[in-house]
Structure 1
Amino acid sequence: MQKSNKRAKINNRSNQIWVLFSGVVSSTFYISTTSEDPFNTPKFIILMLTAGWLLGHLIYEYYRSGLKRKSVDFKFLLIVIFFLLSQTLALAFTHVKFTGLFGDTQRKNGYLTYLSLSIIVLYSAKFLKYLDAIKVIQITVFSGCALAIYGTIQTLGYDFFKWENPYNSIIGTLGNPNFASALLAIFSSFASLSYFIKNLGVAVRILALPTVALCLFAIIRSESRQGLVTFLFIHLFFVSTFYLYKNQKIGIALTLVSAGTVILSIAGMLQRGPLSGILYKESVSVRGFYWRAAYEMFRDKPLTGVGLDNYGGAFKAFRELDYPLRYGYTLTSSSAHNTTLQMFATGGLLLGVSYLAILFFIFKSSIKLIKSIESEKKVLVILFTSVWVGFQAQSFISIDNIGLTIWGWLIGGVLIALARENVENSLANKSDSQIQSKSNSMSLVRPALSIIFVIPILVVAVFLNRAERDTFITRTIIPNESNSLIAKNYAQKVIDNPLAEPFYKFKVGLTLFDFGFTKESLTLLDQLLEQDPTNLIYLNAKAYYQEGYNDIPGSIKTREMIEDNDPWNADNYFVLGLLHVKSGNSERATYYKSKVLAIADNTEIGTRAKNELP
């Protein structure tokens, strides 16, 4: 009887591990072509469902087995709780709660995403073992092969889907070549370094080499330096660390060479040094503007930040003058392109520090584990540490993307799990009899808890899916008289949906305007501005509406609000000058002419100001 109970316990654990792995893989590959956001929202829903189900089992396990205060997983739990409490505090001070909870449009990096990722990493840390780490490698090899094949199909022009894609053709299932190349680098690194690992199986070893070749081909064709640098960084870290513990002299030499290579690579990406011709891209260099804006946001609101995932809403108020002069007055950014800076800028000091605490604890535990673990498993730990460090390196210049980021949190959880298992193996094994009796008496609690968490997530998922579908349909209806009622009906569904993104409501409001439902469109815009009065997209739309109806005083008032939140917008100052000319206030027109010339004297808009304003 005791053996059968133990076997049932093992089978249940194995089933939940595969729920974890299936959720992670699905979060990377699942897309929905009938959604307004075909990439992020579907992945977000799967992430929440996976985390909700695993949370029930996680809570049950904490109750069943208890928490040893000096254990690795207990210390890690405290740090993650600190992170979540910091997120909660930041959410409380976030003005637009929808953005804080669900994340910005086509980002989905809000509170619920990081709550779900926290559950993923805690579950991984609590339940995974050495053999599960082997399974992770196997999964990454197969996943890398699949993603690289799809990327190759995309670059050859035979994609199954017709994306509205402003980027390079290789976007994988992530919607962006930078994300795709970074994930391909992680998968291909696992594949190439898997030959150092035992017990992988024949199929994986056969598939690993072609996976590396396909991934590197797709990375190169993506024209994203991010993937190549990440791949190089992971391998340099692996080789250096491996030899540090095998032959210290060789290891130190390799470490110095690796450090020099990394420094030259970073300098090259920033258009400095001998590698600049190979590695430099304008999209990498521009990140300096994003980082400095993030620093200014944090400096302005060090305790609370500007609001969870609200970087895009605050960017124009904190960007430097040189940015609009180089890239135009309308171009913006929705992220700091550096995960740590994003945390500090949008959530304040506590959130930034707590996030760094998670990274530090994982890295410290990994290095300590490498020093202490038996030689047979040491290479495995070095491999996971190298890939995790590589993931963190790419996040230094990139945005969190659910399909990519979930792997970083899973790998971090694997490292904590290996550290936990190593400590447990060094201690005397306890009898399972007491624990098993509690487990038998509560066998139905575990799935019941999971169901309790999953049901509300399913309700949320239904509303999110409806909003995605209805917005997509509304946007694709051809504007003509016969379709006007159909468009209004679908638009109203989006407006009435409590979980439709505010920006989706704005989009369908524009559609209503195009179909002639002017009053309804303007009423909706005013409602959106009540919820988010500093949103520059809404303010600009209202100003255009007012100018179209010759509401000069109203437009001036609206554009003055734009001025407060976009101080380097010479276009807005020029229009304000024209509006004051129309209203007969030449003094104010001259004032705004001076503001245009102070910002953009030797530009086209400066020339127009000289010619058209008094």
Structure 2
Amino acid sequence: MYRDIFTISALLLLSFFFLKKFGLDINEYPKPPKLAKWLISIIFVTVLFSTSISGLNSESIGALFRTSIFFLIIYFYYAFIASKTGDSNVYYLLLGLFISSLVLSISVYYDFVRSSFALFIFDILITRWAGAFGNPNSLALVVSINIIFIIVLFYSVKVSRKIKLTILPILLLNFGIILFLTNSRAAILSLILSLIFLLYQLEKKIIIYLISLTFILFIIYLTTPFLQELVNIYLRLETVSQRDYLWKAGLDMVSDYPLFGVGPEQYPKYFYTYIPTSGSYFFNLYIILQKPHPHNYSLWMIAENGILGLVTALSIFGFYFYMSAKLIKWNRNNRDEKFLFAVGLFSVGILVFVRSFFEVEGIFSYGFISRDLPFWISYIILTFFYNQNLNELHLKNDT
């Protein structure tokens, strides 16, 4: 309930500021590029069609309603950063992301301190912390996106040296600690791969240092049994096999409903009919803790929305990588602020894409702001720079 109140309040507040700035003349509204319009249309048509074909149940109608509000909010954010000719509003948007993530960090530290700094349960299970966010996997994605943008700002000429030596290192250390406390394996793996790309583009020497450091740490790991035990506990390798139930249930659901899926937000209703009796005890925990999902974004979208779900999943990542790759190509020779953000945004794409093979939250989950907004903030920034570059190229061609 509080999420709905927050979403409606945010929409009303943003609507007020939007109308105050742009008025009612539609011709004055900032226009996103065609690719962004196509993407939103594909997503909206998918949810609308799937909701209709699945019987107009309340959960699916709610998903359609949230989707509409979510993308209206996304457009307001885009209009905000596009309302100036420069890119100063991009930094304000990132500042908002950093501040909100810091608030979540404080809530994690608060819970961690209240537990007397408990890292393990019964000395054999690692604890996972999410604070007020509730979901450690989703929080891990948020802080991972923050980490990428902080590294980008380290190379920005528009950020003062004082900030680079004081505030940014503190933020980086904080989000690194929070990522560790979430114990999200998918986010950590995805972040490592995205940072390899980012640092290769910006500072190839660091890659060599990191490879050397990794080799040294690996030798220490092999020669230290106690460290091996700690790493094995942290990685929770014994839980990997439990996902077999989730993946198989998702594949079986797709097999039974290949064309249209079961409908938005309907996966949890069908899930329990697809798991064997041997796994029912384990998945009773999902009733208490969270909604079940197949731990694979594309599989989840196909299971709920059929063929259109696959088109939507491919479009979200396809359009993102296309725009960010174009942005890198257009600005590679200049290696200016746009190039810096282009490689950073491409890195965010790698992060979210790789993670999508293991998790479903944080991409597009029918308009849940707390889950999806951080990734879509990067999509907003990408769309803004892409459109800006596109207009500059058109001006050059005209002259």
TM range (shorter): 0.7 to 0.9
1:93 alignment counterpart:
53
Classify the secondary structure of the residue corresponding to 1:197.
Answer: coil
Alignment of 1:31-430 (within 5 A): 40-46=3-9, 48-49=11-12, 63-64=27-28, 73-95=33-55, 97-102=57-62, 110-124=63-77, 128-129=81-82, 130-157=87-114, 168=127, 170-201=129-160, 204-205=163-164, 206-242=166-202, 279-283=235-239, 285-320=241-276, 323-324=279-280, 327=282, 333-373=291-331, 374-377=334-337, 378-400=339-361, 402-428=369-395
Structure number with higher relative contact order (C-alpha < 8 Å, ≥ 6 residues apart): 2
Q: How far does the alpha carbon of each residue in 1:349-402 deviate from its partner, in whole angstroms, 9 at most, with x for none?
A: 113313321320111110111011231121122112212331333343224253
Classify the secondary structure of the residue corresponding to 1:318.
Answer: coil
Provide the rounded CA distance (Å) in 1 between the counterparts of 2:10 and 2:298.
21
1:546 alignment counterpart:
none
Provide the rounded CA distance (Å) in 2 between the counterparts of 1:369 and 1:173.
36
Provide the rounded CA distance (Å) in 2 between the counterparts of 1:228 and 1:132.
29
Shift in CA distance, 407/198, structure 1 to aligned 2, threshold 3 Å = same
Shift in CA distance, 330/411, structure 1 to aligned 2, threshold 3 Å = closer
Which runs of no fewer than 5 residues in structure 2 stay unpaired? 117-125, 216-230, 362-367
Classify the secondary structure of the residue corresponding to 2:134.
Answer: coil
Q: Which AA in structure 1 matches 2:359?
A: S
Shift in CA distance, 331/82, structure 1 to aligned 2, threshold 3 Å = closer
Provide the rounded CA distance (Å) in 2 between the counterparts of 1:54 and 1:115.
19
Provide the rounded CA distance (Å) in 1 between the counterparts of 2:322 and 2:36.
11
Shift in CA distance, 131/95, structure 1 to aligned 2, threshold 3 Å = same
Aligned partners of 1:141 and 1:191 also within 8 Å: no
Alignment of 1:449-488 (within 5 A): none
Aligned partners of 1:185 and 1:215 also within 8 Å: yes
How many residue pairs match? The answer is 353
Q: Which AA in structure 1 matches 2:70?
A: L
Q: Which AA in structure 1 matches 2:171?
A: T
Shift in CA distance, 323/134, structure 1 to aligned 2, threshold 3 Å = same
Aligned partners of 1:290 and 1:335 also within 8 Å: yes
Q: Larger radius of gyration, structure 1 or 2?
A: 1
Shift in CA distance, 89/52, structure 1 to aligned 2, threshold 3 Å = farther
2:123 alignment counterpart:
none
Q: What TM-score comes out, normalization by structure 1 length?
A: 0.50
Provide the rounded CA distance (Å) in 1 between the counterparts of 2:236 and 2:262.
31
Shift of 1:46: 4.6
Shift in CA distance, 137/334, structure 1 to aligned 2, threshold 3 Å = same
Q: Which AA in structure 2 matches 1:188?
A: I
Shift of 1:277: 6.6
Q: How far does the alpha carbon of each residue in 1:505-540 deviate from its partner, in whole angstroms, 9 at most, with x for none?
A: xxxxxxxxxxxxxxxxxxxxxxxxxxxxxxxxxxxx
Percent identity reads 17
Aligned partners of 2:22 and 2:28 also within 8 Å: no
Shift in CA distance, 176/354, structure 1 to aligned 2, threshold 3 Å = closer
Aligned partners of 1:117 and 1:409 also within 8 Å: no
Shift of 1:196: 1.1
Shift of 1:97: 2.1
Provide the rounded CA distance (Å) in 2 between the counterparts of 1:60 and 1:302.
44
Aligned CA-pair RMSD: 3.9
Q: Which AA in structure 2 matches 1:421?
A: Q
Q: How far does the alpha carbon of each residue in 1:10-62 deviate from its partner, in whole angstroms, 9 at most, with x for none?
A: xxxxxxxxxxxxxxxxxxxxxxxxxxx66x44554456546766887899676
2:221 alignment counterpart:
none
Shift of 1:123: 4.6
Provide the rounded CA distance (Å) in 2 between the counterparts of 1:393 and 1:51.
32
Shift in CA distance, 189/365, structure 1 to aligned 2, threshold 3 Å = closer
Shift of 1:288: 3.5
Q: Which AA in structure 1 matches 2:55?
A: H
Aligned partners of 2:81 and 2:89 also within 8 Å: yes
Q: How far does the alpha carbon of each residue in 1:54-100 deviate from its partner, in whole angstroms, 9 at most, with x for none?
A: 88789967644797xxxx71232023112211211111123362111
Q: What TM-score comes out, normalization by structure 2 length?
A: 0.74
Aligned partners of 1:154 and 1:169 also within 8 Å: no
Shift in CA distance, 226/81, structure 1 to aligned 2, threshold 3 Å = same
Aligned partners of 1:123 and 1:413 also within 8 Å: no
Aligned partners of 1:289 and 1:323 also within 8 Å: yes
Provide the rounded CA distance (Å) in 2 between the counterparts of 1:158 and 1:422.
50
Aligned partners of 1:189 and 1:235 also within 8 Å: yes
Shift of 1:343: 1.6
Which runs of no fewer than 5 residues in structure 1 stay unpaired? 1-36, 103-109, 160-166, 262-274, 430-614
Alignment of 1:569-580 (within 5 A): none
Provide the rounded CA distance (Å) in 2 between the counterparts of 1:178 and 1:135.
26
Aligned partners of 2:190 and 2:350 also within 8 Å: no
Q: Which AA in structure 2 matches 1:217?
A: I
Aligned partners of 1:226 and 1:394 also within 8 Å: yes
Aligned partners of 1:362 and 1:412 also within 8 Å: yes
Alignment of 1:541-552 (within 5 A): none
Q: Which AA in structure 1 matches 2:146?
A: F
